[in-house]
Structure 1
Amino acid sequence: MISRTLFTDILIIVLLIALQIFVLNRITLFGKYTPVLYPVFVMFYPFFRNKYQFLALSFILGLGIDAFLYTWGINAFATVTIAYFRTVIFRTSTDTSTDFFSFQSLQWTQFLLFIFVSIFLHQVLVQYLEIFKFSKFFDIFLNVLATSAISFIFIFIYALAFKIKQKV
């Protein structure tokens, strides 16, 4: 297993930004839904690492996406928000009450629920802040559900490919 350092974290951020901007943003499913993969950095970041460094790296990741999409900090806000509340999301979606967090000890349903809740919260924040019209509440909600489901599939494939549930 490769030891993660600040350098490898920054390298992962750069690769995720490039993958999201240059590959995934060019994919539109059903004419309007784009998969989102970059929140995997936040979801699968080791729990035992420095929290302030984690929040700063999450901000850099979101700001990098914003720089390419011209969204003025919306992705940075959403990414830092799910980073800040990640422990709460993990505890509520997995019924874990201990201070030790591990994906290895989770059942698959708990692991998948954690992924879906995280991506759903991220998409709610991004899309409601981006569109910000109360008259389009249900249209935005449908878009959030569809994008979350599509992104969930991509993130699940990512988790299987890198064996996240076994390693972290």
Structure 2
Amino acid sequence: MISRTFFTDILMIAVLIALQIFVLNRITVLGKFTPVLYPVFVMFYPFFRNRFQFLALSFLLGLGIDAFLYTWGINAFATTAIAYFRTLIFRTSTDTSTDFFSFQSLQWSQYLFFILASIFLHQLLVQYTEFFKLSRFFEIFLNVLATTAISFIFILMYAIAFKIKQKV
């Protein structure tokens, strides 16, 4: 298992920002939807690590994305929000009430629901904060659903490639 330190966390954030900005933002599905991969840092960050450091790193990740996309803190807000609510999302998806969290103990359906719920919440916050108009409510919601589905596939490929379920 790879030991995670503050330095490796910063390095992972830099790699995820570069991957998102320079590779994934150039990919569009159906000419409109862009996959989002950078929330994997928040989803798969070890539960036993310092919570305040985790929130600060999540904010830094979102702020890095915002710096390149000129989105004025929208991604920082959404990334920090899913970091803050990650434990609640995990408990909801696993029906657990203990204070010990582990991806190893999850069934695949719980694991997939955790990923799907996290990315859905992230996309909901990003897109409604950026484009919210009551007249475009359903259009934005369809964009959230489509982007969530596309991002879910990319995040699942990432999780399988790096065997996240066994390592975290």
TM-score band, normalised by the shorter chain? Answer: over 0.9
Q: 1:82-141 deviations in whole A, cap 9, x for unaligned? A: 000000000001111111000000000000000000000000000000102111000000
**Counterpart code for 2:71:** T
- Within a 5 Å distance, the mapping from 1:15-34 to structure 2 comes to 15-34=15-34
Corresponding residue for residue 8 of structure 1: 8
Shift of 1:156: 0.2
Corresponding residue for residue 107 of structure 2: 107
Corresponding residue for residue 152 of structure 1: 152
Corresponding residue for residue 92 of structure 1: 92
Corresponding residue for residue 78 of structure 1: 78
Indicate the RMSD between aligned Cα atoms, in angstroms. 0.4
- Within a 5 Å distance, the mapping from 1:48-63 to structure 2 comes to 48-63=48-63
TM-score, normalised by the number of residues in structure 2: 0.99
TM-score, normalised by the number of residues in structure 1: 0.99
Does residue 1:43 correspond to 2:37, yes or no? no
Corresponding residue for residue 143 of structure 2: 143
**Counterpart code for 2:113:** L
Shift of 1:33: 0.3
Structure 2 residues not aligned, in runs of 5+: none
Determine what percentage of the aligned residue pairs are the same residue.
Answer: 83
**Counterpart code for 2:8:** T
Structure 1 residues not aligned, in runs of 5+: none
Partners of 1:6 and 1:60 in 2: how far apart? 13
